[in-house]
Structure 1
Amino acid sequence: MNLASLDLNLVVALRALLEERNVTKAGRRVGLSQPAMSGALGRLRRHFDDDLLARVGGHYELTALGQVLLDRTFNVCDQLERLFTSQADFDPATESREFTLGVSDYSVAVFGAELTRLLDREAPGIRVRFVQIPANFTERTGAVLNTLDGVFMPHGIISGFSVTELYEDGWVFLVAEDNPEVGDRLSLADLARLPWVTYLRAYDSPAVRQLGMLGIEPRVTISVDSFTVLPFLVAGTRRVALVPALLAERMRGTAPVRIMAPPYDPVPLREALWWHPVHTHDAGHIWLRETAARAAATVQPRPIRGTGDEDQAERSYEGDVSGVA
């Protein structure tokens, strides 16, 4: 199909019609009269050879093709907006622009806070919208990255896309302060015996997958989509949780739990900013990536404290970074 022969204004009309499912409301949304929007719907129906909107009783519902086009038109409109807002030059001190970044609550708490403090000082007109990374991200990586300005995610989960390296973190374990089954040191036997609470699926994390190589299969009884609730799901129970070390320090004191060093040498957590190649040469994105790298330099590991064992308390994250959030 020859793109030059298409009226791209119909893309905007199509999105409004599919989302509003009402000709009058769709016209009002894009600034067209009801007759003009009806004419656009007629042209779209002829093009796709499908009704797109089918009347059911007193309202319209999407046809099967209309449902398929709903997500596609959103992505297309988003890409068109990105295309026509691309810039050759970018002055953070004067620009007004919003960046949308996919995150976990861990990356917002540990890194997002550092990044936004830097933006407040240097780019007062820049807005950042943090959105939760979809659960099916690994199955739709390209499609999701195509709709975002970037994703904060460690190595070990996706690969093959453009990436800006950020920082390394470690992992520590959380156990309840009053758990009588755990002494001053965690053992591999403890990890095999105790029930676990994990962030999402246990085997999404290379740090957890590594335990399988040591003959430990975590007995996961609870999984959640938030790192920051893990201490509360551990407190007062027999459960154990694996938590990024920097986040554990930030949450210290929020729940009656002990922070304990792993009883093995885990793999490093290497946090990164992943982005779609479509953003490679955009001046605003170049600035965003450079700024993220500068913010990452301020994320420093700190000593593990309060494990109940003097030798463990002196170990530092630098010598014991592990896992993937």
Structure 2
Amino acid sequence: MATPPERTPAHLANLDLNLLVTLRELFRERNVTRAARQLGVSQPAVSASLSRLRRHFGDELLLRTGNAYVLTPLATQLTDQVETVCAATERLFATGSAFDPSASRREFTLLMSDYPATVLGDRISRLLEREAPRAALHMRLVRETIGGDIVEAIRLVDGMVSPRLGHFRTPVGSQPLFKDRWMCLLSADHPLYEADSFGLEDLTPLPWVVPYHRDAGYPSASPATRQLTALGIRPRVAVRVESYRAVPDFIAGTRRVALYPARLAARLPAERGVRALEWPVPLDEIDELLWWDTVYDKDPANVWLRGLVERAASEAAP
């Protein structure tokens, strides 16, 4: 498709915001017929909307390959933006003076890494099913260390679970959820696992696996790296991975070492080939909190959601 002429930014009053919802369903379903079914409209209506969207973006967005559609590179780039904008719009128009969770069809969005998602996910799921069976949940997993884009991120979600992040440039509220402690994760056949004792001098020269280490440089905003920095350890980062649950896969059968949350370590089966040991020196606690934009302080739906997450954390107490 030819590149359209340069456009000035469109004013909201001149946009058909229904196209956002259609775009979201097209990206989710990658099929015009299924998207139409989800939207409750005819297939020709969705095809017409897709044509308008293609003209607007100057891109095919969906490309047919055989009997299926795939997203173009631009569509892939737009997917997360469309999801967050639609979720924020739904929250805006759902805000009111009353909220009945048993009748609500609202979609709530929580942002966190796979660590608190593992600790809290099953309990949040059960509470949501019991108290708000018609509501939906979008559990967004962070893909890298939460950093400079935190202001924008927290405005587009109902809540974010993370450790303390320092200073925000926007007013935020917070409440504590749960605490944890760091363990030393080693391969089950690592020499230190069989040693009578070991110290920092044994761990410091080893290659490290560090989750959410922003880049190959040092220091990093990663919670694990911050803890190592406090110990005076500058790790040789052998593996960076955007997941806590993937860390054991890069430890097993190697000489590598990692800091690992005890709550996750307790879930590791023996066949993963790793073992968690107590650290030889005291470490800071892991302190996970729920954060939200203060614009939602008194929104009944958000107040209810925060209470639900807090109860889930209480049930998850060790």
Q: TM-score, normalised by structure 2?
A: 0.70
**Residues 193 and 269 of structure 1, relative CA distance in 2, 3 Å threshold:** same
Contact 2:145 2:222 in 1 (8 A): no
Deviates further, 162-171 or 272-281:
272-281
Map of 1:114 onto structure 2: 123
Structure 1 distance, partners of 2:271, 2:164, is 29
Q: Structure 1: 5+ residue runs without aligned partners? A: 17-28, 54-67, 302-325
Q: Tell me whether 1:189 sits opposite 2:201 in the alignment.
A: yes
Larger mean Cα displacement after TM superposition, 175-184 or 222-231: 175-184
Paired residue for 2:262, among 241, 245, 250?
245
Distance 1:189 1:296, change over 3 A: same
Name the residue aligned to 1:257: 274
- Give how far 1:287 is off: 0.2
What is residue 110 of structure 2 aligned with on the other side? 101
8 Å CA contact retained: 1:206, 1:267: no
Structure 2: any 5+ residue segments left out of the alignment? 1-10, 26-37, 61-76, 215-219
Which of 198, 218, 222 is 2:210 aligned to? 198
The yes-or-no answer on 1:266 pairing with 2:283 is: yes
CA distance in 2, matches of 1:14, 1:250: 39
Q: How many residues align?
A: 292
Q: Report the alpha carbon displacement of residue 3 of structure 1 after superposing the two structures with TM.
A: 8.4
TM-score using structure 1 length: 0.69
Once the two structures are TM-superposed, the CA of residue 117 in structure 1 deviates from its matched residue by 2.2
Q: Which of the numbers 114, 127, 139 marks the counterpart of 1:130? A: 139
Q: For the residues of structure 1 that align with 2:84 and 2:133, how far apart are their CA atoms? A: 28
Structure 1's 228 and 74: CA in aligned 2 closer, same or farther, altered over 3 A? closer
Q: What's the secondary structure of 2:229's corresponding residue?
A: helix
**Are the equivalent residues in 2 in contact too, given 1:201–1:223 (CA < 8 A)?**
yes
C-alpha distance in 2 between matches for 1:253 and 1:108: 22
Q: Conserved in 2, the CA contact under 8 Å of 1:86 and 1:282?
A: yes
Please tell me the residue identity of whatever aligns with 1:173.
C
| Shift of residue 181, structure 1, vs aligned partner | 4.2
Q: How far 1:173 sits from its partner (Å)? A: 0.9
What SS class does the counterpart of residue 165 from structure 1 fall into? strand
Secondary structure at the aligned position of 1:109 is classed as helix
The alpha-carbon deviation at position 100 of structure 1 amounts to 1.7
Q: Select between 253-262 and 157-166 the one with higher mean Cα deviation.
A: 157-166
User: 1:35-66: per-residue Cα shift (whole Å, max 9, x none)?
Assistant: xxx9xx99xx9xxxx9999xxxxxxxxxxxxx
CA distance in 2, matches of 1:104, 1:214: 24
CA–CA separation in structure 1 for the residues paired with 2:129 and 2:79 = 36
Deviation at 1:271, TM superposition (A): 0.7
| Structure 1: distance between partners of 2:250 and 2:24 | 43
Note the 1:5-154 alignment, pairs <5 A.
77-135=86-144, 137-154=146-163
| Structure 1 residue 168: Cα displacement | 0.7
Query: How far off its partner does 1:278 sit?
Result: 3.0
What is the aligned partner in structure 2 of residue 275 from structure 1? 292
Return the letter of the residue paired with 2:175: T
Structure 1 residues 256 and 51: CA distance shift in structure 2, 3 A: closer
Q: 1:201 to 1:129 in 2, by over 3 A?
A: same
Q: Which amino acid aligns with 1:126?
A: A
Larger CA Rg, structure 1 vs 2: 1
Residue of structure 2 equivalent to 1:58: none
Q: CA separation in 2, counterparts of 1:13 and 1:121?
A: 30
The CA RMSD over aligned residues, in Å, is 4.4
Query: What is the aligned-residue identity percentage?
Result: 38
- What is the distance in 2 between the residues matched to 1:90 and 1:204? 38
Name the structure 1 match of 2:234: 217
